[in-house]
Amino acid sequence: MTDLRPFRRAALALLVAAALPGCALFRTPPPLTVESAYAQGMEAYNAGQWRRAAELLGQFVPNATSDPRLKGALMALGRAHLETREYVSATAQFLRVATEFPRDPEAEAARFGLCDAYHRLSPRPQLDPEYTNAAITYCESFASIYPGTPQAAQAQAWVAEMRGKLAQKAYENGFFYFRRGLYDAAIVYFNNVVTQFPESPWSSSALLRMTEAYGRLGYREEEAATRARLLREYPQSPEARNLAAAPADSAGR
């Protein structure tokens, strides 16, 4: 027969502990106050505990409208969201600092945070470009307000990257129609690449496809003009070198 006495003694010990005042085993943690949310949130932030910091500071910020620590808490909350890849939430915190405290020192970091967060949100070129356009807007704005800074140089590099994505998307849209023999529609997209993103490597590819499209449509004058433009404006591109090596009347055929 199983000896149940040890189990009975353990149950009795638990009952006695529950009856003792202040027993740690059954003690209810004190409710989180605004002060403790801030203190624990910043402690977690400084320790690199990003999710914990975001949780606690997220409880402090709505109750700290007139608190002088609000700006710092918003910046910490935004950076914590960046670290946890909650980029949309990060933009909300940085935008608050930039709009509510536009002349304070924190505004510069907040504006760069907006640029950074939207750059991270920017998807592959084939997807909706909403966040890519937002990244261009905020990064161009930052670079114009804080020229000559390392962050401005980074923002400009991100702008070039984002514009390259838009150029690629426009080119691929044009090529979609080109492959199906819908050359007029393809030309519209290819022309958009060249006019809106002339600095992009996709521009020389778009001009080559436009040359081919005009040739297949039998528009000899437009074909020749587009060919000449490619050779003139992008002479070092692979497309221009290949086209220059081919007979002029063989383009597009």
pTM: 0.80
Query: Would the pLDDT of 199 be above 90?
Result: yes
CA dihedral of residues 85, 87, 92, 96 (deg, nearest 10): 80
Query: Would the pLDDT of 58 be above 60?
Result: yes
Give the three-class secondary structure for 166. Answer: helix
> What single DSSP character describes residue 32?
P
Write down the pLDDT at residue 8. Answer: 53
pLDDT grade, residue 126 (50/70/90)? Answer: confident
Please report the domains of the chain, with CATH numbers, ordered by start residue: 30-109 (1.25.40.10)
Between 126 and 216, residue with greater pLDDT:
216
- How far is 141 from 46, CA to CA, in rounded Å? 30
Q: What is the pLDDT of residues 10-44, one digit of tens each?
A: 555 544 444 545 544 445 556 689 899 999 999 99
Write down the pLDDT at residue 34. Answer: 87
Write down the pLDDT at residue 247. Answer: 63
Write down the pLDDT at residue 245. Answer: 78
- How far is 5 from 24, CA to CA, in rounded Å? 26
DSSP 188-240: HHHHHHHHH-TTSTHHHHHHHHHHHHHHHHT-HHHHHHHHHHHHHH-TTSHHH
Percentage of the residues of the chain whose pLDDT score is greater than 90: 78
